[in-house]
Amino acid sequence: MQKRRLIYLDNNSTTPCDPRVVDAMLPYFYEMHGNAASRSHQFGWEAEDAVDYAREQIAQLLKSEDKEVIFTSGATESNNLALKGVYEMYAKKGNHIITTEIEHKAILDTCKHLEKQGAEVTYLKVQEDGMVNLADLEAAIKPSTILVSIMWANNETGVVQPMKAIAEICEKHGVLFHSDATQAVGKIPTYPRELGIHLMSFTAHKMYGPKGVGALYVSRKNPRVKVTAQMDGGGHERGMRSGTLNVPGIVGFGKAAEIARLEMQQDAERLSKLRDRLEATLTKLEETKVNGNVDNRMPHVTNISFKHVEGEGLMMTFNQNIAVSSGSACTSASLEPSYVLVGMGLGDDLAHSSIRFSLGRFTTDEEVDDAVALVANGVNHMRDLSPIWEMYKDGVDLTKIEWSAH
Strand pairing report for 322-323 and 7-8: parallel
| Rounded CA separation 98/80 (Å) | 15
| Amino acid identity, position 69 | V
Distance between terminal CA atoms of the chain?
48
Rounded to the nearest 5 degrees, what angle is found at the Cα of 23, between the Cα atoms of 18 and 29? 120
Strand pairing report for 301-306 and 176-180: unpaired
The candidate with the shortest Cα–Cα distance to 259, out of 62, 20, 68, 97, is 20
Consecutive H or E run containing 301: strand 301-306
CA distance readout (Å), 142 to 24, 98, 103, 131, 145: 48, 10, 21, 22, 5
Half-sphere exposure of 75 (CA within 13 A, CB side): 28
Other beta carbons less than 10 A from residue 400's beta carbon: 6
| Rounded CA separation 122/145 (Å) | 10
| Rounded CA separation 167/398 (Å) | 44
| Contacts for 319 with CB less than 8 Å, ≥ 6 apart | none
DSSP output for 189-205: ---HHHHT-SEEEEEGG
| Rounded CA separation 302/257 (Å) | 24
Q: What are the residue numbers of the active site?
A: 330
- What is the total residue count of the chain? 406
52 exposure class (CB count in 10 Å sphere: 0-12, 13-18, 19+): middle
